Structure 1
Amino acid sequence: MLLIGSIFTAIGLEEFLVPNQIIDGGIVGISIMASHLTGMPLSLFLVLLNLPFLYLGYTQIGKTFAISTVFSILSLSYWVSIFHPITEVTRDLFLSATFGGIVVGIGVGIIIRYGGSLDGTEIVAILLGKKSGFSIGEIVMFFNLFILGSAGFVFSWDKAMYSLVAYFIAFKVIDITIEGLDESKGILIVTEAPDEIADALMARLGRGVTIFHGEGGYSGESKKILYSVITRLEIAKLKTIVQEKDETAFVTVTDVHDVMGGRVKKKSIH
Structure 2
Amino acid sequence: MRHKRLKRTVLLKRAFFVTFGAIIMGVALELFLVPNDLLDGGIVGISIILSYLSGLKLGLVIFILNIPFFYIGYKQIGKTFALTTLYGITIMSITTALLHPIHSFTEDLLLVTVFGGIILGFGVGLVIRFGGSLDGTEILAILLNKKLPFSVGEIIMFFNLIIFGSAGFVFGWNRAMYSVIAYFIAAKTIDVVIQGLDESKAAWIISDYVDDIGEAILARLGRGVTYLKGEGAFTGDEKKVIYCIITRLEEAKLKSIIEEFDENAFLAVGNISEVRGGRFKKKDIH
**TM-score if structure 2 supplies the norm length?**
0.91
**Distance change >3 Å, CA 2–CA 245, structure 1 → 2:** same
Q: CA deviation at 1:45?
A: 0.9
Name the CA distance, whole Å, in 1 between partners of 2:193 and 2:177: 24
Name the CA distance, whole Å, in 2 between partners of 1:37 and 1:176: 34
Provide the residue aligned with 1:167 in structure 2: 183
Aligned pairs (5 A) from 1:92-111: 92-111=108-127
The alignment-based identity, stated in percent, is 57
Name the CA distance, whole Å, in 1 between partners of 2:166 and 2:185: 19
| 1:2 matches 2:18 | yes
Q: CA RMSD in A?
A: 1.4
| 1:75 matches 2:103 | no
Name the CA distance, whole Å, in 2 between partners of 1:185 and 1:144: 31
Provide the residue aligned with 1:87 in structure 2: 103
Structure 1 residue runs of 5 or longer lacking an equivalent are none
Opposite residue 124 of structure 1, the aligned amino acid is L
Provide the residue aligned with 2:75 in structure 1: 59
| 1:266 matches 2:282 | yes
| 1:35 matches 2:48 | no
Q: CA deviation at 1:132?
A: 6.1
Name the CA distance, whole Å, in 1 between partners of 2:227 and 2:150: 33
Q: CA deviation at 1:146?
A: 2.0
The correspondence for 2:128, drawn from 112, 117, 128, is: 112
The C-alpha deviation readout for 1:49-87, integer Å capped at 9, x for no partner, is: 111122111111111111111111111111111111112
| 1:141 matches 2:153 | no
Name the CA distance, whole Å, in 2 between partners of 1:112 and 1:8: 13
Aligned pairs (5 A) from 1:7-18: 7-18=23-34
Name the CA distance, whole Å, in 2 between partners of 1:121 and 1:131: 16
The correspondence for 2:172, drawn from 152, 156, 160, is: 156
**Distance change >3 Å, CA 36–CA 183, structure 1 → 2:** same
**TM-score if structure 1 supplies the norm length?**
0.96
Opposite residue 126 of structure 1, the aligned amino acid is I
Opposite residue 118 of structure 2, the aligned amino acid is I
Name the CA distance, whole Å, in 1 between partners of 2:269 and 2:20: 34
Name the CA distance, whole Å, in 2 between partners of 1:83 and 1:6: 13
Q: CA deviation at 1:178?
A: 0.7
| 1:202 matches 2:228 | no
Name the CA distance, whole Å, in 2 between partners of 1:132 and 1:244: 50
Q: CA deviation at 1:133?
A: 6.6
The correspondence for 1:233, drawn from 245, 249, 254, is: 249
The C-alpha deviation readout for 1:180-227, integer Å capped at 9, x for no partner, is: 111111111122211111111111111111111111111111111111
Opposite residue 28 of structure 2, the aligned amino acid is G
Name the CA distance, whole Å, in 1 between partners of 2:226 and 2:108: 52
SS at match of 2:132: coil
